[in-house]
Copies of this chain bind each other. A is one copy, B any other.
Amino acid sequence: MERQFDEELKALKEKLLRMAGLAEESIAKAVRALKDRNEALLSQVLEQEERINLIEIEIDEVCLRLLALRQPMAGDLRFVTSAMKIASELERIGDQAVNIAERTTELLKVAQLKPLIDLPRMAGLAQAMVVDAINAFVNRDADLARGICERDDEVDQLNHQIFRELLTYMMGDAATIPRAVELMLIGRHLERIADHATNIGEDVVYLVKGKSVKHHIEERGCRTS
């Protein structure tokens, strides 16, 4: 029985890792499509979202079954309920990648405003946060999880910088406004992805340390918006 439970937990972790891998890939593809003006990648993002959504349902069902049949206690109980929350976060990361793909579809219809450097960099940071967040969870690594929180600030700063730069374009030439706004919103989507990764990181610290870092006053700087 104990052994079977371990097997089930292992299978659950594998599902989460697969889901996170797909989510990371979706971000990469959506932003590559934007950077390289490669429309073919966009349909892959939509396809992957469907797979991500299905895995979320699977994870939910596995967790409910584990709770009902194995009645885990203490750390295992927290692990299973955290897995359900984390799967929701990953699903929303997939949604954000789709949002980026949708905005990219519009942007590819018109001339490029400028070569993109910072948005792909921001995407790279966000992708790494997603991967590390899920690794922190499956390995119950609180240090890795805490680091994610700090990296979220870096993403926010980069987004702010992108925002300022786009504002100067907009103010210099009104014809750039619609494109600049789309790019700003893509920046927002990437920021949201980093926020979701940070939420996962916070859940992991809570899981490992058994206390909530989410709302500790001294760690407010880590709260996402």
A85 interface neighbour in B57, B71, B85, Cβ under 8 Å: B85
Identify which of A36-44, A107-115, A140-148, A174-182 touches chain B: A174-182
User: How far does the alpha carbon of A129 sit from the alpha carbon of B124 in the complex, in Å?
Assistant: 35
With A68-B77, A170-B170 known as contacts, the answer to whether A215 contacts B57 (CB < 8 A) is yes
A81 interface neighbour in B67, B71, B224, Cβ under 8 Å: B67
Q: Are A77 and B56 in contact (CB under 8 A)?
A: no
A56 interface neighbour in B56, B73, B184, B214, Cβ under 8 Å: B214
A84 interface neighbour in B85, B170, B178, B225, Cβ under 8 Å: B85
CB neighbours (8 Å) of A102 from chain B are: 225
Query: Which residues of A from 174 to 225 have beta carbons under 8 Å from B?
Result: 174, 177-178, 181, 184-185, 188, 212, 214-215, 223-225
Chain A binding surface, main DSSP class: helix
Within 8 Å of chain B (Cβ to Cβ): is A64? yes
* Total copies of this chain within the assembly: 2
Q: How many of chain A's residues touch chain B, expressed as a range?
A: 35 or more
Q: Are A56 and B215 in contact (CB under 8 A)?
A: yes
Q: Are B60 and A95 in contact (CB under 8 A)?
A: no
* Nearest CB of chain B from residue A186's CB, rounded to whole Å: 13
CB neighbours (8 Å) of A184 from chain B are: 181
Q: Are B188 and A177 in contact (CB under 8 A)?
A: no
Q: Are B214 and A99 in contact (CB under 8 A)?
A: no
Query: Which residues of A from 75 to 111 have beta carbons under 8 Å from B?
Result: 77-78, 81, 84-85, 88, 91, 95, 98-99, 102
Q: 11 more A-B contacts (CB under 8 A) besides A64-B81, A102-B225?
A: A57-B214, A60-B212, A67-B77, A67-B81, A71-B71, A84-B84, A85-B85, A95-B224, A167-B178, A170-B177, A177-B177
A–B Cβ pairs within 8 angstroms, 15 of them: A50-B215, A53-B215, A56-B215, A57-B214, A57-B215, A68-B77, A81-B81, A84-B84, A95-B225, A99-B225, A102-B225, A170-B174, A177-B177, A185-B188, A188-B188
